[in-house]
Structure 1
Amino acid sequence: MKIIPLIFLIFIHVSCYKVLVFNPAFGASHSNFLGKISDILIDAGHDVTMLIPISMESKKDLVGSKKVSKIIKIDQDPRSRIMQEEAKTEEMIKKQIWKLDADITIFFSMIKNFSIASGYQCEHIFQQTVILDQLRNEKFDLGITESLFLCGFPLFDHIGVKTVINADSVLYLDVVRYAMGEPASTSFYPGVFSKNNDKMNFLDRTRNLFGMAFSWYFSWSRFQGEMDAIKPYYNKSLTWEEHINGAAFYLINSNQYLDYASPTLPKTVFIGGMQVNTKKNGKVKLDKDWDDLLNQRKQNVLVSFGSNAFSSDMPDEYKKAFLEVFESMPDTTFIWKYEEANATLADHLPNVKLTTWMPQNDLLADDRLTLFVTHGGLGSSVELAYQGKPSVVIPLMADQPRNAHMLTRHGGALQLDKALLDQPNEIRKAIQTVLSDSNYKTNAERLAKILEDQPNKPKDVVLKHCDFAVKFGDLKTLNSEGRNLNTLQFYSVDIVLVALISFFIVLLVILLLLICVFRKCMRLMSSEKRKVD
């Protein structure tokens, strides 16, 4: 009997593989997503190393995982840092996000600088020869990167990592679908930055098409900048499309039971929700302070606008409106994520808790939390969906409008325009509508039940596809030939054109024949008439 545990240990050792995760310090949601994948692999006994190039100085401490012990950091490229400091892009977004149009095209002017900075950063990474030699000697079995930046793909190839997985912390990236040859479905599938749902009129479909084209251009310009910057160090002739399509799988932070339906290829794998711990798996527990706070009143509302939009940077009229709403509902506890330490603006309201940080997922998992007022970031949207919490969604920018209508169609969320944030009556009306109508709670809980009972659990999907990729690599049989077709061929427009041309040629021939026959008949009739005369 003692042989069995020994065999089991040998099996674990043999099946263990080495993984390199390319996780730039750029944004919390991106780092946390790749960090969670790393945690899943570590829990399964695999050896994970995380390479963290610092893309923004303010994000230099981001890791996204508490389990990864092997971490290699690369400082931010000096040219890139100077560009960011001069542009003050991050500060501008935080200050102006509250009133800017949510459409991503407002950032069109930033594309050029962002692409140049991305190129500088990728070049800087390729210049770290000592680190790259160290990584090359590790002989990793699998590389995982995100197509937010292209740099990870040629880097893996440069250091000899043969099998790569592309893992995106956002929904479908239009440029990735293009590279893979996957249908864009612009007539019924909302793009990442779309304000419309899947029921679109002509004008909506036109906006969706141009939105996807803009998203594609935004990524394309960045990818080209990175590829051009590393030419002195990376001499292979692979295009950015070939790098992306060469990944064994495309893991996306989407869930088929939450998101809109769309045609996909075998390489596309849905893992949305793999990062969420629910109370059913026994991993949710609140500290005493939070537990006591939720016990004070029967209704508890969490208000948070994520890690990029700070409530402390709100226009004063917005803050005043929220405080007025909180004051008008004294029987409800409001937990407000407010990023200014020791702020005193709500000291006169005993039902308001200001905090620079809170255990969001654990609070959402608690039955005593009644409502979530959120900006609709993808991470928050997935968490509230899994925890079955009704919500008021106030999208601010980028993909948040899409996430908002993705949630509202399930019946557990109500969307509020951010332009109304200076009107306390509108905020109060939205909150009280969701609190008073039990259908919101019922629908939110039903969605959570669907996600809980889905046939394939996202965590298992991540692990199984990583295992499969290590075992078999990039299966070319999973590639679509659609990626090699131009637009006319892909949508069979050339066939339609040939058919139309052929139809008109046949129609013209028939018409000419009829004209000839008619003229012949007229001649015969004219000849007979002359004979009669």
Structure 2
Amino acid sequence: MIIRVFPVFLILPIISQCSKILVLFPYASKSHTILGEALVKSLANSGHNVTFITPYKTNLQTKNGTYRLIYLDNVIEYHEKQQMNLFDFGNTPPVITLFVMNGLGNEVTDLTFAHPNVQKLLNDKHEKFDAVIVEQFVNDAMKYFAYHFNAPLVSFSTVGANAWVNPLVGNPAPPSFVPDVFLSYSSRMSFVERLKNTLFSVISELNRHLIFFPAQNRILHKYYPDAPDLKDLLYNNSLFLLNSHVSTHSPVPLLPNMIDIGGFHVKPAKTLPKDLKDFIEGAKHGVIYFSMGSNIRSKDFPEKMRTNLLNVLKSLKQRVIWKFEDENLPGKPDNVLISKWLPQNDILGQQNVKLFITHGGLLSTTETIYHGVPVLTIPIFGDQKMNAAQMVLHGFAQSISFEVLNYENKIRNALNEVLTNPKYAGIAKQRSKIMHDQPFKPMDSAIFWIEYVIRHKGASHLRIAGLDLAWYQYLSLDVYVFVSSVSILVALILVKLCKMICCKKTKSKTDKVKKNK
């Protein structure tokens, strides 16, 4: 009898830990969805029942739990019609970028709430979830999902801790060393950069509270009139998962409910297809991998820039693998292999890869650090310029602006610097060691903390008291005003007393003079 009961007893904890989790990654961005898919798959493999809302028709194979797709069909097609030339967008001033992001976030939020598959989910009274995970990316009204299902809210930041994240949990982020995501600064800023960063931080916060949040609130109540005001939902984050790590970012303050899991989606390199494997292993002087990511297309480079790049690449003794979104590349030299799609992580994991030419997106940055490959960045927009600045600061990268591609000699000089100076490869290997030297794998940490929040019913004990203060109280402005007022009052009284004493002394002397006369 005991033998029969024992196996059942062993699996009871597994059964009791199974939770229903809703994961929402609404953006039509493949790089964002890669992160969402990795998290969803791991949660399901850990035994949870996961529902995934995404505009990509994914069919994830899971081992233990269950996986259900809420497919946002037609969203990708809609965004492709609206998409602008990202090379042009790269020259947009940061302040204008704020308003562009406002529009993007409002558009995605509206499309998601309006989608019939989402409406069906939200209107099903039998649906229940133990936790709701929402990608935090200018879509704050979607925190409503956690309120609707009365579940703890786990927010996921695809770009680490930033101005969209820190105020929502009360995390300190001094602009003196925490650059805004839209600025091309590292954590080591000059006085002028600190001045610009501080002013931009103020403008960003005013934009959020005066323009963006009210717009999100209107969209929320357009579909759910009885929903609470957005300001009552914004600060109910039980946990923030951050796609960052000290190997990829400079260290910044983090509260207990902010967990770094940067690198969680990266895995050891797998065996490459034979053509790629032969191309890499047959390169006597090594290989350069060139990719501008999933959103920026190399085929859209202006002709002069593309010609300059080709002239530089064909002069190299290394072979080049270039993610190029067209079957034909006029003037392609023999040492260059092109393909519309490439297994980037597996290529970067090959020992014979000597350099990565990249736009500096965070996924590419994370993967190159994971595998210890030095970098030449050509940042275009978003967080890419900040990522590039951080890599240059850490010492394993060179960075050139998009405009520099008009000058063949400057491209060649930057490439040769990284290829011929061994310090870049050495520092890249060191950064890789930092990423790998962790007590837990990043994905294991993510799963643990999600389950922790579920076990502790939202883990309200991680919430800081600062969130319950008004903004002027959080900044102690009322204290400063009080102390300043008292100091001024005391100073005025002292001045008044001094004047009275001086006047009495003067009068006394005058009276004595009069008596002597």
User: 2:96 & 2:61 partners in 1: Cα distance?
Assistant: 36
Which amino acid letter does the alignment assign opposite residue 94 of structure 1?
L
Indicate conservation of the 8 Å contact 2:113/2:119, yes or no: no
SS of the equivalent of 2:394 reads: coil
In 1, distance between residues paired with 2:39 and 2:469? Answer: 34
Matched, 1:287 2:273: yes
Aligned to 1:302, the other structure's residue is in SS state strand
- Could you list the per-position Cα deviations for residues 145-169 of structure 1 after superposition, in whole angstroms to 9, with x for gaps in the alignment? 11222343213432x2412211121
Distance 1:146 1:137, change over 3 A: same
Q: Mark the CA change 1:315 to 1:64 in structure 2 (over 3 Å): closer, same or farther.
A: farther
Instruction: Between 9-18 and 309-318, report the one with greater CA deviation.
Output: 9-18
Which residue is 1:246 aligned to? 236
Maintained 8 Å contact 1:104/1:397: no
Residue-by-residue CA offset, 1:198-226 (whole Å, 9 max, x unaligned): 23344312321343345446666455434
1:432, 1:424 → 2: CA distance? 12
1:63-102 residue pairs with structure 2 within 5 A? 63=58, 65=60, 67=62, 69-76=67-74, 81=78, 89-90=82-83, 92-94=84-86, 96-97=88-89, 100-101=90-91
After superposition, the Cα gap between the structure-2 partners of 1:114 and 1:506, relative to the gap in structure 1 and judged at 3 Å, is: same
Tell me the distance in 1 between the aligned counterparts of 2:331 and 2:282. 17
Amino acid at match of 2:288: V
Say if 1:321 and 1:423, in contact at 8 Å, map to a contact too: yes
Partner residue in 2 for 1:58: none
Unaligned ranges ≥5, structure 1: 55-60
1:111, 1:129 → 2: CA distance? 25
Pairing 1:34–2:21 present: no
Aligned pair 1:105/2:105, yes or no? no
Q: Does residue 177 of structure 1 match 2:169?
A: no
What is the letter of the counterpart of residue 295 of structure 1?
E
Distance 1:62 1:25 in 2: 13
Instruction: Choose which of 246, 256, 270 in structure 2 pairs with 1:266.
Output: 256
Query: Matched residue pairs, number?
Result: 509
Question: What is the letter of the counterpart of residue 336 of structure 1?
Answer: W
Give identity over the alignment, percent. 26
Scaled by the length of structure 2, the TM-score of the pair is 0.90
> How far apart are the structure 2 equivalents of 1:507 and 1:128?
63
Unaligned runs of 5+ in 2: none
Task: Report the AA paired with residue 86 of structure 2.
Answer: K
Q: Is the 8 A contact 1:181 1:484 kept in 2?
A: no
Q: Name the residue aligned to 1:338.
A: 324
Q: 1-side partners of 2:159 and 2:183: how far apart?
A: 14
Map of 1:204 onto structure 2: 193
Q: CA deviation at 1:258?
A: 2.9
Once the two structures are superposed, residues 247-269 of structure 1 have per-residue CA deviations (whole angstroms, 9 ceiling, x without a partner) of: 22011111134312222222211
- 3-state SS of paired residue (1:137): coil
Change (3 A) 1:133 1:514: closer
1:512 to 486, 496, 508: 496
Write out aligned runs for 1:339-488 (5 A).
339-340=325-326, 342-347=327-332, 349-488=333-472
Letter in 1 for 2:330: L
Aligned-pair CA distance for 1:389: 0.8
| Cα displacement (A) at 1:497 | 2.6
Q: Deviations for 1:349-390, whole angstroms, at most 9, x for unmatched residues?
A: 110011111111111111110000111001101111111111
* Structure 1 residues 510 and 157: alpha-carbon distance in aligned structure 2, compared to 1, 3 A threshold: closer
> Shift of the alpha carbon at 1:431?
1.1
Q: Is 1:48 aligned to 2:50, yes or no?
A: yes
Cα deviation digits, residues 3-56 of structure 1 (max 9, x gap): 65443333322222222212224211211111111111122122212123x4xx
| C-alpha distance in 2 between matches for 1:129 and 1:237 | 15
1:345 alignment partner AA: P
Letter in 1 for 2:482: V
Which whole-Å CA distance do the structure 2 matches of 1:212 and 1:114 have between them? 20
Compute the TM-score of the two structures, normalised by the length of structure 1.
Answer: 0.88
| Contact 1:195/1:402 (8 A) holds in 2 | yes
Partner of 1:305: 292
Conserved 8 A contact 2:26-2:112: no
Aligned partner of 1:31: which letter? T
Q: Which amino acid aligns with 1:310?
A: R
